[in-house]
Structures are given as C-alpha cells and as structure tokens.
C-alpha cells in the first residue's frame, strides 16, 4: 500500500510506492523539490524528517555531520518511506529558483503527425535530469552548435523524458541538422530553462487554456502538471488551428477529456490566411473573435477564470484583446508566444 508524505512548509502531499525514492515520488506528483544529481552525491535534495519512518536505500557519497544526522537530515533521492511521513524541504515556487542547466539528451523518437509539425522525444541521463517548471522553454542545440528556443511540451513529473512540438519546414537548416540521423544526430544539447508561463498553482479559479497551432506545446505541459497536482477546478482547453489537420494531438486531448471529469476539450478550426495587410488582420481578428465568443459563451463570466494564451505574437494579441473586451480580469491573463 502506498504511504502518504506531507512536505512542509508547503503542506503539499504525495503518495509513495514501495519501490520509489522520495525524490521520484515527489517529482511524479508534480512537485518542484530541490535536487541535482539524483544519485546521492550533491546533497541538494536534503530534507528533515519531522515524523514517520524513513529508510536509506542505496549508496550515497554525500556525508552528513553527526549534528545533521541527529536533526533527522536525509536525502530525498536516497530514501524510501516505510510509513506515512512529514518532511521539511525546499521547493521551488518561482522560475528564478531553478538553476540554468546545460546537458545532452538522447533523441528517442521523432514523430511527424502532420507535414508541418514534428514531435521530438528526448531522454536525459538518470544522473542529469532536466529541472524545469511546466510551461517553461529551453534552447535546443544541434550538431552544428546552432540553437533555437522551444517550450517543453511535457511535465517535469516525467523527470527523464521531454517532448517538443516543432513547426517544420524541409528547407530549415537548423531542423535538417537536428533531425538528420545521417549526421549522427542521436543526441541534442539542451540549455535552460527560461520563461515564466507557468501554472498559478495556488489559485482555485477555473482554468481556461487557449492554444493556437503548436502553441499547444507549453499548454500540454501545464495540463499534465495540473492533472498531476489533481486540481479540482474546471479546466477548459480551447485549441484553435488554422487548418483541418492542425490538432495534431487530437486523440490525446480527447482521451484526457474522457478520463478526467473536470477537463473539457474544444478543438476549433479557423480560416487564417497569412497576415500581410490590414484587411486580412481585420478578417483574422473577426474569425478568431467569433469562434472564441461561441466557445467561451457557456463559461461566462470570464472574469472568474485564470486564462492562459499560447500563440504566435499577432494571434496572442488578438486573443488578449478579445478577452479584455469580454470582461476577463487582466491580472489573471497569462501569455506565451512560442518561437516559429
């Protein structure tokens, strides 16, 4: 049977299975506890046992002083819980508490759900995990040392695996190098994280995610994070695409809405020609505003929601203007503008 662990001072709780370390269970539950090496060497995952039976599992290089041992200091990455427990430890609550990291990740898989989107799956070594808060971005560095910023499309609760949604064009040199196995590109450099498009975890307001095309990437990370935290308020995802095949993870979204009572998925498609003159901007604004008005009408009043918008800059501005006019609370509007 799983044991329940409570962290202080946050009062966050998580369940830990028999064969898991405290660190693995905390990360799986979406908590941003402090850690580094994951193997008992750096001492960054220190915690103090307030109550409960905690047992060491595996070798650790890090040495506690006698006083620290007496005070109940342990390493989360090297201990398991034999009973329910209460621990005191550091958790990141803000993006500036996450250190900048540089590491190499293995390219596990590249999917092509449509002609113009690639999904890149990477895996970091067990001893060098990527620490970030859901919704943040990192730089991917290809074999020619060129780099480009992308949102991580997965949740840190899956600590070793990352996903990136990449708008694709065959003549893009950066991407050709990144995806070319003939160049021996079985790995990719990662540097980060940066960005502050993160979930307002303490808020109990209903959540409305607006994603446009591959702007879905950071939103997917936020949704997975919200689910790992088991948030109880309603969560709506409005995913707008400018083409019929643009909801490239439609089945994934459908499966969440089938499985999770408080998650609702609204895929929308609009006619969006490239914006080159004011007339087309007006047409696009009208198209987006019309579909948003229809989709959000049942959610009224919008001022009660936390609204997260992830779209390229022009579209983000249109959405922001729509929600401002529709009465949303602008202090609860959160914007991300993915790279192209």
Nearest approach, Cβ of residue 69 and ligand FES (Å): 15
CB of 16 to ligand FES, least distance (A): 16
From CA 318, how far away is CA 138, in angstroms rounded?
26
Q: How far apart are the first and last CA of the chain?
A: 47
Query: Which residues, at least 6 apart from 69, have a Cβ–Cβ distance to it below 8 Å?
Result: none
Q: Tell me, residue by residue from 108 to 127, as one string, x for binding to ligand FES by CB under 6 A and - for no binding.
A: --------------------
54 or 77: CB nearest ligand FES: 77
168 binds ligand FES per the rule CB under 6 A: no
Closer to ligand FES by Cβ: residue 81 or 120: 81
> Residue 35, interface with ligand FES (CB under 6 A)?
yes
Does the protein bind ligand FES through residue 228 (CB under 6 A)? no
- Number of residues forming the site for ligand FES (CB under 6 A): 13
Query: Taking the complex as a whole, how short is the minimal distance between the CB of residue 40 and ligand FES, in angstroms?
Result: 5
Nearest to 292 by CA among 264, 271, 331, 266: 266
Stretch that binds ligand FES, among 30-38, 91-99, 181-189, 258-266 (CB under 6 A): 30-38
How many whole angstroms separate alpha carbon 193 and alpha carbon 96? 10
Q: Which stretch binds ligand FES (CB under 6 A): 10-18, 38-46, 211-219, 244-252?
A: 38-46
Closest CA to 199 of 101, 62, 307, 294: 307
Nearer to ligand FES by Cβ, of 37 and 210: the residue is 37
Among 77, 85, 134, 326, binds ligand FES (CB under 6 A): 77
Cβ neighbours of residue 129 closer than 8 Å, sequence gap 6 or more: 35, 38, 159, 160
d(CA 62, CA 39): 9
Q: Are 35 and 131 in contact (CB under 8 A)?
A: yes
Footprint of ligand FES on this chain (CB under 6 A)?
35-38, 40-45, 62, 75, 77
């Amino acid at each position: 049977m799983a044991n329940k662990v409570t962290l202080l001072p946050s009062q966050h709780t998580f369940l830990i299975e028999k064969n898991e370390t405290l660190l693995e269970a905390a990360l799986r539950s979406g908590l941003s506890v402090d850690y580094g090496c994951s193997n008992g060497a750096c001492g960054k995952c220190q915690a103090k046992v307030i109550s409960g039976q905690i047992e060491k599992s595996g070798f650790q290089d890090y040495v506690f002083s006698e006083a620290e041992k007496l005070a109940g200091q342990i390493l989360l990455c090297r201990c398991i819980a034999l009973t329910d427990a209460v621990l005191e430890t550091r958790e990141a609550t803000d993006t500036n508490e996450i250190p900048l990291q540089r590491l190499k990740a293995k390219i596990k898989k590249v999917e092509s759900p449509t002609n113009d989107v690639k999904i890149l799956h990477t895996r970091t070594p067990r001893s060098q995990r990527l620490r970030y808060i859901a919704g943040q971005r990192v730089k991917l560095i290809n074999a020619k040392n060129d780099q480009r910023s992308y949102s991580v499309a997965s949740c840190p609760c899956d600590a070793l695996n990352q996903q990136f949604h990449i708008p694709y064009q065959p003549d893009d040199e950066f991407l050709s190098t990144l995806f070319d196995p003939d160049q021996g590109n079985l790995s990719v450099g990662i540097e980060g994280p940066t960005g502050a498009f993160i979930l307002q975890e303490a808020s109990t307001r209903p959540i409305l995610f607006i994603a446009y095309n591959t702007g879905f990437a950071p939103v997917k990370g936020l949704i997975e994070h919200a689910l790992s935290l088991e948030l109880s308020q309603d969560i709506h995802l409005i995913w707008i695409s400018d083409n019929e095949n643009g909801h490239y993870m439609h089945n994934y979204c459908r499966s969440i809405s089938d499985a999770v009572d408080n998650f609702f998925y609204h895929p929308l498609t609009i006619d969006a020609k490239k914006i080159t003159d004011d007339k087309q901007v007006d047409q696009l604004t009208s198209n987006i505003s019309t579909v948003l008005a229809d989709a959000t009408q049942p959610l009224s009043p919008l001022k009660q929601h936390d609204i997260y918008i992830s779209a390229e800059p022009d579209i983000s501005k249109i959405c922001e203007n729509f929600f401002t006019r529709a009465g949303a609370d602008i202090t609860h509007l959160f914007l991300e503008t993915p790279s192209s």
